[in-house]
Amino acid sequence: MTKGKYFKTGDLIIYGTLLVIFILGTVMVIGSKQISSTTAVVTLDGEEIHRINLGLVDEPYEFRVETTQGDYNIIRVENGRIRVVEASCPDKIDVKQGWISNAHQSIVCLPNRLVIRIIQDKPETDSTIDGLAF
């Protein structure tokens, strides 16, 4: 039995369907990433003191967070990421941790009671459609 040189009609339908599914999936994933944003929430003693949309940061900047006892942390913010660059705590674990940028990551400085956590904002959609069926 010899194989034909060309695809059979059934093969073309299967390949075409898979290609359409792949393209639609890629478009949906890219579209959902553009709608949602990443936010850093900085809390001191359990109180939120800063909320920063990391995707909207144009120029890198630093700010200082000081406790009532005079302890401090210096936080650096860049587009899409955040870190503690200097701290008055003895162990400096928060400084050693480095940059965080993904949802559910956090930096904790227990001596200074500082917490920086990354949250993923939910995408805003006007439609309840969550998929496409053929």
Q: Is residue 9 part of a domain?
A: no
The domain that holds 60 is classified in CATH as: 2.60.320.10
- Would you say residue 58 lies in a domain? yes
Read off the pLDDT band of 15 (50, 70, 90).
confident
Residue 61 has a pLDDT of 95
pLDDT(113) > 70: yes
For residue 81, what pLDDT band results from cuts at 50, 70 and 90? very high
Q: How many domains does the chain have?
A: 1
Average pLDDT of the residues in 34-41: 74
Of 129, 121, 130, 128, nearest to 36 (Cα)? 121
In a domain, 15, yes or no: no
Distance CA 9, CA 119 (A): 49
- Over residues 56-85, the mean pLDDT reads 94
User: Average of pLDDT values for 54-66?
Assistant: 93
d(CA 122, CA 111): 32
The predicted pLDDT at position 43 comes to 96
Q: Which domain holds residue 116?
A: 38-120
pLDDT band, very low/low/confident/very high, at 129 (cuts 50, 70, 90): low
d(CA 84, CA 28): 35
- Global pTM reads 0.64
Question: In whole angstroms, what is the distance from residue 105 CA to residue 98 CA?
Answer: 11
